[in-house]
A and B are shown apart, each in its own frame.
Chain A
Amino acid sequence: EDQVTQSPEALRLQEGESSSLNCSYTVSGLRGLFWYRQDPGKGPEFLFTLYSAGEEKEKERLKATLTKKESFLHITAPKPEDSATYLCAVQGGGSEKLVFGKGTKLTVNP
């Protein structure tokens, strides 16, 4: 059974304090690992898709990396507007479904 575990559950940072969020996964035949951002009361917003170990993608202050067992979302010099819940999901071979982690709630204080 495909599984996704995200850590920590919650993270508080000061503005400018860089850190990383972790997504550990087990999946049969990874087709894709997805990162989403979700603001309170809204639907998840797509950030990145990673397909193979060693792949990296960047968007503004965010950088996602992938190994065979986990993915990291690195946040460099975060700003208060980066505060949100970050969700990780995997898609296994032969399936149209995503399996989601429970998310990391990030708070960035000014």
Chain B
Amino acid sequence: DVKVTQSSRYLVKRTGEKVFLECVQDMDHENMFWYRQDPGLGLRLIYFSYDVKMKEKGDIPEGYSVSREKKERFSLILESASTNQTSMYLCASSSPGAQETQYFGPGTRLLVL
């Protein structure tokens, strides 16, 4: 059974704090993704990685960075959290090939005060 886990379900941080969101997958997938989901805007891609130490900007990378030191782990970093980064953050993974289905984690709901 496929499994993507995220380090926290709920997180409350203060403006200016550095925030780390962790994602781990146990499917040996090469590709990993970070999205944010906001009402009325849908899912928007922040960053993705297709290999260890490789990263690509998505549609809204500003204010975020990522780290992928191991194949199974992909971290999203908010260098200096701001209130407009309050959102639901979703991690996903997939394997390149004929069936590139992305499997999602349960999400982290982040509130920045």
Enumerate chain A interface residues (CB-CB to B < 8 A): 31-32, 34, 36, 41-46, 49, 87, 89, 91, 96-98, 100-103
- B101: chain A residues within 8 A (beta carbon): 32, 34, 46, 49
Name the interface size band of chain B.
20 to 34
Stretch binding the partner chain, chosen from B12-20, B35-43, B75-83: B35-43
Binary A-proximity of B24-56 (CB < 8 A = 1, otherwise 0) = 000000010100000011110100101000000
**Of B58, B94, B100, B105, which contacts A43 at CB under 8 A?**
B105
The 9 A-B pairs with the shortest beta carbon distances in the complex, nearest first, are: A43-B104, A102-B42, A100-B43, A43-B107, A44-B104, A43-B106, A43-B105, A100-B42, A43-B90
Interface: B64 (CB within 8 A): no
- CA of A106 to CA of B64, assembled, Å: 33
Minimum CB–CB distance from B5 to chain A (whole Å) comes to 10
- A46: chain B residues within 8 A (beta carbon): 101-104
Minimum CB–CB distance from B43 to chain A (whole Å) comes to 4
Are A96 and B107 closer than 8 Å at their CB atoms? Answer: no
Interface: B73 (CB within 8 A): no
